[in-house]
Chain A
Amino acid sequence: MNSGRAWVFGDNVDTDVLAPGQFMKSGIDEMARHCLEAVEPDFAGSVQPGDVVVGRRNFGTGSSREQAPQALKHLGVAALVAESFAGLFYRNAINLGLPAVVCADARRIRAGDRVRVDPEAGRIENMSTGEVLACEPIPAHLMQMLGDGGLVPHLEKRLARQRQSGESSR
């Protein structure tokens, strides 16, 4: 994974600021424009593909709305790093193929640092400070799903295999 710029947020970044209810009717383009605007008005306009969003505790708390990680992914965010994630948000992110990495030292990353996240190895390289931060490894079954690009492509592969074995057993 290439390096990206870090956007740093605090504790309990909630799904209402990630995906405001007002735009839930809209498509993801419109939703993404308002992602995080209540706490960082410039975010959607300035974030670059490959950038990394860093939170502290309980990132993504709140709703099941998948538009929260989807908006981040849509804006090109390459990975999420936090001391901890809200469980439901974490599952949604991985299901959409957006790596979410738990790092106890996430607070050592400063806004604007260039970081490279390696979810498989469980490490973050901070190119700006030279620091390497250890992360919790993503469980193997989820790493496989991420490798496939998320749950939908993962299911596509599984269904293709089932159809194939169905045909060959005929």
Chain B
Amino acid sequence: MAAQTPAQTLAQKIIARAAGRESVAPGEIVTCRVDLAMMHDSGGPRRVKPLLEKLGAKVWDPDKIVVITDHYLPANDDESRRIIHIAREWVKEAGVTRFHDGIGICHVVLPQKGYLRPGMFAVGGDSHSPTGGAFGAYMFGIGATEMLGVLVTGEIWLKVPHTILVEWRGELGPAVSAKDMMLALCGKLGLDGGQYQAIEYAGDAISALRMQERMTLCNMAPEVGAQTGLVAPDQVTRAFLESVGATGADVAAWQGDPGAPLLAHHHFDASTLEPQVAAPHTPANAAPVARHAGTRIDTAYIGACTGAKIEDLRMAAKVLEGRRVAEHIRFVVAPASAQDQAIAAREGTLQILVDAGAELLANSCGICAGYGDDRLGENEVAITSTARNFKGRMGAASSQVYLASPFTVAASAIAGRICDPREFLK
């Protein structure tokens, strides 16, 4: 019998292609050619520039590099300004033309610019880089020294991951979103359930999601310890890519084979999923919102790559339309990108949020990254649409962060305490 290529998952197929192989098996260590390397201002130029100089090396291919500033913006102090300045100067020096400065968070800007396509093998200098997996790319986060290795060689080693299939069937109820799906997954698998393998999301509930909701799923794959998350491309993917000028994407080729090996197959029912809230200090502390309903909050924050894309802003607006947040609440909205903000402004979503009492912050990582001066104070209790609530991440070690969907954050802002958003969508 002629040797046949074994059945492979989508992750394996992309890795095999990038490694110049017909097929790869989970557990093998391979070296892959990188199609795209993304950096931001924090882990990017300010750290790789001195190392490149030390090595006397140049970047392997400036056209495969994307640099996006988002962490130290707005640059309110000398050190932040210095870091942003290094990024601006370095891209010129290195010949990198795909440079986007102050227009939003890297994971959200990257697909908006049409840089991602199904089947790509990509790395990003940020742990939320798996967001690119929503487009059927294999994309994962790496640190600055490893990025240096990619910049110099165009290659990276990888232990071929097993695939964990996360299948969602049924239809999401009102005021339930991709964020709730991910918090539920965090609650079920824990912070290390992903075992640094690849998660593929599938099922009719996934197919029904718009691209930015799929981005939220893949964005949070690291929260369960996966190396990446992927959604196989379909007509929704193709339509999005065409809308951003990434034409000719090969959707049919980048699908897993039937019978490909799976490490695990988890089944979830979208129709019975309730809004989720993860209590301090880990996303794995997720439970249905009723568990925490009534907890008094000081701050409600719609922000970050996870929770402030246009789809997220619309969810918040759906709850907040014609309402105002409670008197004692600081309600902060930091749209994830300038483009998302512009759409929100055009269609009226932004006005609803502002009328409800929103304080608008810059299109950057902001409070979520915890790098700037805008931080949570001592004992401050916040509910946020972001991805992580580790102790002290967003401010004082005594601050308490509850993670939830934009629906639930908005509802809680109105009530001044953690609240089921379905109460406002009756």
Contact = CB atoms under 8 A, between A and B. Distances in A.
Interface stretch (B49-57, B60-68, B163-171, B294-302): B49-57
B104 interface: no
Contacts of A87: 196, 225, 227
B55 A66 contact: no
A16 B222 CA distance: 15
6 contacts: A22-B371, A24-B369, A25-B79, A64-B125, A151-B149, A155-B149
Given A16-B393, A22-B375, A66 B225 contact: no
B143 to A, nearest CB: 4
A156 interface: yes
Given A26-B79, A91-B143, 7 more contacts: A16-B392, A17-B392, A65-B43, A88-B141, A88-B196, A151-B145, A151-B146
A4 interface: no
B127 A151 contact: no
A152 B146 contact: no
B282 to A, nearest CB: 7
B370 A21 contact: yes
Contact of B392 (A12, A38, A95, A156): A38
Interface in B70-97: 71-72, 77, 79-80, 83
Interface string A30-72: 0000000011000000000000000001100111111000000
B148 A141 contact: no
B214 interface: no
Of residues A58, A84, A87, which shows the largest number of chain B Cβ atoms within 10 Å of its Cβ?
A87
Given A38-B397, A64-B141, A58 B191 contact: yes
Minimum-distance CB pairs A-B, first 3: A87-B196, A21-B370, A66-B143
Nearest to B387: A62
Nearest to B83: A25
Interface in B319-349: none
Given A64-B125, A86-B192, A159-B55, A17 B390 contact: yes
A12 B149 CA distance: 28
Sorting the interface of chain B by its residue count into under 10, 10 to 19, 20 to 34 or 35 or more gives 35 or more
Given A22-B375, A65-B43, A96 B145 contact: yes
A58 B19 CA distance: 28
B164 to A, nearest CB: 14
Contacts of A24: 42, 71, 369, 371
A95 B29 CA distance: 16
A16 B390 contact: yes
Contacts of B72: 25
Sorting the interface of chain A by its residue count into under 10, 10 to 19, 20 to 34 or 35 or more gives 35 or more
B43 A12 contact: no
Nearest to A91: B146
Interface in A74-131: 84, 86-88, 90-92, 95-96
Contacts of B54: 152
A84 B141 CA distance: 18
Interface string B130-158: 00000000001111111011001100010
Contact of A64 (B143, B148, B153): B143
Contacts of B392: 16-17, 20, 38
Nearest to A23: B371
Interface in B170-197: 191-192, 196
Given A64-B43, A84-B192, A86-B196, A95 B157 contact: no
Given A87-B225, A159-B55, A152 B145 contact: yes
B205 to A, nearest CB: 27
B371 A66 contact: no
Contact of A88 (B127, B375, B391): B127
Interface string B350-394: 000000000000000000011100010000000000001011111
A102 B393 CA distance: 26
Contact of A66 (B47, B129, B140, B152): B47
Given A24-B371, A61-B191, A66-B144, A14 B390 contact: yes
Of residues B142, B144, B145, B157, which shows the largest number of chain A Cβ atoms within 10 Å of its Cβ?
B145
A12 B191 contact: yes
Nearest to A96: B145
B371 A64 contact: no
Nearest to A163: B56
B379 to A, nearest CB: 15
B390 A92 contact: no
Contact of B370 (A16, A84, A88, A150): A16
Given A17-B392, A22-B370, A66 B43 contact: yes
A25 B143 CA distance: 16
Contacts of B196: 86-88, 90
A98 B142 CA distance: 16
Contacts of A166: none
Nearest to A39: B391
A150 B55 CA distance: 14
Interface in B191-227: 191-192, 196, 222, 225, 227
Contacts of A38: 391-392, 397
B126 interface: yes
